[in-house]
């Protein structure tokens, strides 16, 4: 049973001639059944023989990612691969049709990608340069047009412009300055600045010139200048004109303004001095703009032509060329990574592999028939590392196995907790989330994902079976609790009916009388219990006891699985001195408590509720007052019950030293015998060597002594008795105290169910009950508004937050309370060499 325990693994030696290493590895990676053993995990990949090939693949993948970025920039649609197995067959056929060596196909792809990447880089660089040139021309044109609007036609008059009585010009309009011929000349500064720097630029100009400069700006249309790095981004700039006094050879203000422009990275332009030069310059810029736009269009068409080659789907392919190249490089990189796990010796590569039982026939057939240069030899494992763990999973078991693997990989041939998690995980979730309505919503979502919407499931990476089974058990347990969003359902007819009270003091109180003493509600809890004053007390007691019973059963099952593991591995010490006393201790303590709960349920306490004993009191007195007669008794006169509890207590206490002492003593004795046996074998071996070299000189005798010292010091390492005993003390304390804390931890089944039910009841009472009770038009309006709030609160709190909360608590119960009883979780996964897996992981799903 491959899901109950790991598949049986075989250890093999693989020998491959170096000249056919690519062909052999390419064939083996398609089998999806080989785990390569790294001959030296401490050796960096960069120091391995095929590291150069891996680096080449990485460089090419980086270039393809840049090309893909350009394709997205130009809105080229990429068809991604959805069937990697078809692509693998396509690669194999393509390489087979070539007349060259198989591994040289990477060289062809490398040359092709390098050539196209270089061409694309050149064209992209030209595009950027042309965009910059276009932006400069647009800026220059805007300077001429906006500058003319700001300075006016009087600027082109052939005269020296002066101002009479020139004072502070800041804040004045240019037309307000009286232009006369005199002794003060004006200079101007024209340029383009980013709009976001405009205000700071004005302030600094004002401070530097002390207000003796006139400045005005006009924005350039936002759709004219584009960002050279991103065509979709628009840059907003403004044309500025600064007029300031600076004639007579004085250039102090000019130097300051130039420094300010440099700090702001302002583009400065020269404004023509007469109208003729102005018009000529304007025509020249228009001509250059037309030429630049034409060059831009031509360059863009060339770039798109290059990108169209990568977008195209070629014959016998199921994806775009760029995706096909990327997945081929991923495949090649993976192939050389696996080859790096093999040791190179001369012209031969050899290494070790793990194979599942029966896979050796398939591998050997591939090597002997298709690739006769490879050899496969059975070999005993090297070192002490156990085989890897491998389980065959399907769509149902995959998600639950991932829950187990997240905590730890099962040890080789250890019982797999995932088999039981398939049922227990959704069941415990359902106990906490028990509600007919909410569970049915989860069930419908799970069915929808299973049947109709595979795309959403793949996009969310969500196991539809999880939701289906969690919804089913929440729906089922909702019927057990008879809870439909805090409202009970009287499906089979209640066994109770309204009655009267003879006491005049309590005559107004509602009482329920059982119709027939033999009447039992067919399924779940009678709905009348949701209408009585002691509803919360009854439901809390029921759910609390049910949680403890479920917890003790699951933990007892975990201890039994530990015993099955011990029998399978023939570890009789663990079976006799751990499994038997641990199970006995647990049954005599908490198993007894479950027995008391169930026995009490079978007793009819009608009319004698004051004589019903408390289970908590019974368990406390069992420890604090052993032998004392039970009063009130659960059965008999109380003495037999007390004697039974005393006997169980003594048996449980007797089990503790059995768990603690025998195992470390026996292991220490076995270690001493093994050490003595090893020393005896070593002495016999050294005596034989001594007789063979008895006639050699003293130097030879010294060599024998050195060999003896090295061998006797290199014997097997065994733990000291102190370490073994301390470890067993920790194990014993953890089990005994953990039995108490773990049992209490299962009360979260009751707590989460209580919280869910109370939240549902609060939402119903606060949102819907008022509208239902009011009736009429006002009640309808209140009900409509309340239902909207009720729906949002139910979805956000119960269907989202509470689902996650119950999921996490069910996860905790499996990882800590259940699996800790038998699960070592110190194995490592069987990582099969698979093209399909690595290519699927790198294939990008894309919504159409």
Residue 194, classed as helix, strand or coil, is strand
Looking at the structure, tell me whether residues 434 and 560 fall in a common domain.
yes
Asked whether residue 648 carries a pLDDT value surpassing 50, the answer given is yes
Residue 687 belongs to some domain of the structure: no
Domain boundary among 346, 378, 410: 378
| Domain of 198, in residue numbers | 125-153+184-280
Q: What is the mean pLDDT of the chain?
A: 83
Continuous segment of H or E residues that includes residue 200? helix 198-209
Q: Which residue has the higher pLDDT, 10 or 701?
A: 10
User: Mean per-residue pLDDT for 759-779?
Assistant: 84
- Range scoring the smallest mean pLDDT among 217-221, 578-582, 718-722: 718-722
Residue 515 has pLDDT above 60, yes or no: yes
Look at residue 175 and tell me if it is in a domain. no
Same-domain pairing of 312 and 335: yes
Q: Which of 553, 581, 578 is nearest to 653 (CA)?
A: 581
In a shared domain, residues 88 and 133: no
* pLDDT value of position 162: 37
> Is 293 among the domain residues?
no
- Asked, for residue 743, whether it belongs to a domain, the answer is yes
Give the pLDDT confidence score for residue 714 in this predicted structure: 42
State the total domains in the chain.
3
The answer to whether residue 846 scores a pLDDT higher than 50 is: no
Nearest to 586 by CA among 758, 392, 430, 817: 817
Give the pLDDT of residue 519: 84
- Report how far residue 787's alpha carbon sits from residue 615's, in angstroms, rounded to the nearest whole number: 43
Same domain for 407 and 439, yes or no, is yes
Distance (Å, rounded) from C-alpha 243 to C-alpha 189?
A: 7
CA 814/CA 745 separation, integer angstroms = 11
Predicted pLDDT at 62 = 94
User: Residue 194: which CATH number?
Assistant: 3.30.70.3450
The answer to whether residue 366 scores a pLDDT higher than 70 is yes
Q: 667 and 530, same structural domain?
A: yes
Q: CA dihedral in degrees (798, 804, 810, 814; nearest 10)?
A: 180
The string of pLDDT tens digits covering residues 206-242 is 888 888 888 888 888 766 666 665 655 667 888 888 8
Q: What is the pLDDT of residue 441?
A: 94
pLDDT tens column, 79-104: 888 888 899 888 888 888 888 888 88
**267, part of any domain:** yes
Q: Judge whether residue 373 has pLDDT over 70.
A: no
CA 737 → CA 204, 407, 662, 733, distances in Å? 76, 22, 20, 6
Quick: pLDDT tens for 522-546. 898 999 888 888 888 889 999 999 9
Residue 703 in any domain: the answer is no
- Per the model's pLDDT, the better-predicted residue between 271 and 746 turns out to be 746
315 with 253, same domain? no
Range 184-214 burial, b when 16+ CB lie within 10 A, else e: bebbbbbbbbeeeebeebbebbeebbeebbb
pLDDT at 454: 61
Predicted confidence at residue 140, as pLDDT, reads: 87
- Rounded CA-CA distance 378/369 in Å is 19
What pLDDT sits at residue 689?
A: 57
Q: Report the pLDDT averaged over residues 506-514.
A: 68
Q: Which residue has the higher pLDDT, 157 or 252?
A: 252
Q: 320 with 78: CB under 8 angstroms? A: yes
Q: Based on the fold, state whether residues 666 and 606 are members of the same structural domain.
A: yes
Q: Same domain for 574 and 648?
A: yes
**Residues 621 and 542 reside in one and the same domain:** yes
Given this model, what pLDDT does residue 183 score? 46
Residue 699 lies in a domain: no
Tell me, yes or no, whether 102 and 130 share the same domain. Answer: no
User: 108 with 138, same domain?
Assistant: no
| Top-confidence range, 261-275, 389-403, 422-436, 619-633 | 422-436
Per the domain annotation, does 68 fall within a domain? yes
Same domain, 345 and 407: no
Residue 164's pLDDT band (cuts 50, 70, 90):
very low
The confidence band for 456, taking pLDDT boundaries of 50, 70 and 90, is low
Residue of 382 and 698 predicted with greater confidence: 382
């Amino acid at each position: 049973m491959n899901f109950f325990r790991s598949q049986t693994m075989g250890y093999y030696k693989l020998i491959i001639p170096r000249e056919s290493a690519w062909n052999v590895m390419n064939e083996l990676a398609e089998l999806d059944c080989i785990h390569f053993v790294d001959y030296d995990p401490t050796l960096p990949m960069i120091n391995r023989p095929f590291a150069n090939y891996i680096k080449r693949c990485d460089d090419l993948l980086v270039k393809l990612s840049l090309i893909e970025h350009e394709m997205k920039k130009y809105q080229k649609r990429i068809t991604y691969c959805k069937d990697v197995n078809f692509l693998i067959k396509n690669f194999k056929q393509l390489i087979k049709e070539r007349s060259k060596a198989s591994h040289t196909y990477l060289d062809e792809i490398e040359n092709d990608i390098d050539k196209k990447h270089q061409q694309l880089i050149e064209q992209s660089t030209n595009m950027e340069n042309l965009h910059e040139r276009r932006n400069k021309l647009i800026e220059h044109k805007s300077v001429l047009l906006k500058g003319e609007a700001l300075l006016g036609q009087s600027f082109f008059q052939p005269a020296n412009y002066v101002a009479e009585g020139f004072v502070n010009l800041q804040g004045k309009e240019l037309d307000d300055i009286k232009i006369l011929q005199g002794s003060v000349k004006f200079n101007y500064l024209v340029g383009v600045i980013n709009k976001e720097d405009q205000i700071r630029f004005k302030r600094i100009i004002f401070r530097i010139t002390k207000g003796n400069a006139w400045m005005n700006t006009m924005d350039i249309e936002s759709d004219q200048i584009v960002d050279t790095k991103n065509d979709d981004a628009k840059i907003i700039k403004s044309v500025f004109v600064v007029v300031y006094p600076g004639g007579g050879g004085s250039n102090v203000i000019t130097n300051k303004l130039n420094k300010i422009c440099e700090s702001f990275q302002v583009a400065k332009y020269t404004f023509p001095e007469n109208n003729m030069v102005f018009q000529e310059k304007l025509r020249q810029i228009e001509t250059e703009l037309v030429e630049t736009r034409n060059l831009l269009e031509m360059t863009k068409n060339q770039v798109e032509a290059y990108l169209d080659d990568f977008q195209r789907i070629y014959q016998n392919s199921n994806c775009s060329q760029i995706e096909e190249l990327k997945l081929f490089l991923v495949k090649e990189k993976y192939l050389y990574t696996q080859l790096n796990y093999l040791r190179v010796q001369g012209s031969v590569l050899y290494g070790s592999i793990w194979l599942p039982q029966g896979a050796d026939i398939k591998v050997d057939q591939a090597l002997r028939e298709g690739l006769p240069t490879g050899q496969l030899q059975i070999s005993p494992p090297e070192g002490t590392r156990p085989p890897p763990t491998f389980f065959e999973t399907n769509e149902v078991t995959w998600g639950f196995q991932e829950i187990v693997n997240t905590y730890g990989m099962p040890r080789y041939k250890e019982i797999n907790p995932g088999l039981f998690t398939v049922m227990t995980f959704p069941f415990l979730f359902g106990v906490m989330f028990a509600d007919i309505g909410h569970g049915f919503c989860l069930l419908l979502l799970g069915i929808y994902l299973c049947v109709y919407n595979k795309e959403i499931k793949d996009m969310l990476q969500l196991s539809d079976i999880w939701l289906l089974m969690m919804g089913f058990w929440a729906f089922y347990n909702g019927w057990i609790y008879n809870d439909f969003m805090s409202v009970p359902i009287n499906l089979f007819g209640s066994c109770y009916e309204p009655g009267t009270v003879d006491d005049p003091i309590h005559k107004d109180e509602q009482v329920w009388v059982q119709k027939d003493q033999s009447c039992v509600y067919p399924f779940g809890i009678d709905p009348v219990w949701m209408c009585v004053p002691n509803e919360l007390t009854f439901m809390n007691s029921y759910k609390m006891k049910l949680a403890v019973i479920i917890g003790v059963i699951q933990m007892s099952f975990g201890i039994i699985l530990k015993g099955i593991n011990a029998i399978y591995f023939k570890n009789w010490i663990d079976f006799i001195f751990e499994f038997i006393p641990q199970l006995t201790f647990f049954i005599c303590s908490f198993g007894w408590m479950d027995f008391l709960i169930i026995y009490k349920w079978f007793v009819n306490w009608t009319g004698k509720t004051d004589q019903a004993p408390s289970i908590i009191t019974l368990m406390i007195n069992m420890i604090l007052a052993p032998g004392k007669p039970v009063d009130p008794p659960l059965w008999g006169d109380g003495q037999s019950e007390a004697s039974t509890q005393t006997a169980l207590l003594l048996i449980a206490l007797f089990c503790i030293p059995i768990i603690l002492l025998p195992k470390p003593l026996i292991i220490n004795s076995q270690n001493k015998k093994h050490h003595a046996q090893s020393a005896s074998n070593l002495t016999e071996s050294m005596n034989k060597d001594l007789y063979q070299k008895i006639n050699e000189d003293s130097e030879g005798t010294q060599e024998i002594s050195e060999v003896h010292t090295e061998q006797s010091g290199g014997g097997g390492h065994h733990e000291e008795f102190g370490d073994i005993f301390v470890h067993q003390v920790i194990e014993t304390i953890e089990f005994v105290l953990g039995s108490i804390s773990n049992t209490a931890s299962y009360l979260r089944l009751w707590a989460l169910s209580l919280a869910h039910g109370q939240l549902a009841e609060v939402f119903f009472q606060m949102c819907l009950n008022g509208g239902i009770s009011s009736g009429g038009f006002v009640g309808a309006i209140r009900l409509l508004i309340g239902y909207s709030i009720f729906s949002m609160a139910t979805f956000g709190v119960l269907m989202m937050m509470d689902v996650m909360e119950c999921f996490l608590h069910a996860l905790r119960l499996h990882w800590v309370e259940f699996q800790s009883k038998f699960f070592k979780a110190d194995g490592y996964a069987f990582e099969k060499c698979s093209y399909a897996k690595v290519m699927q992981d790198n294939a990008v799903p894309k919504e159409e």
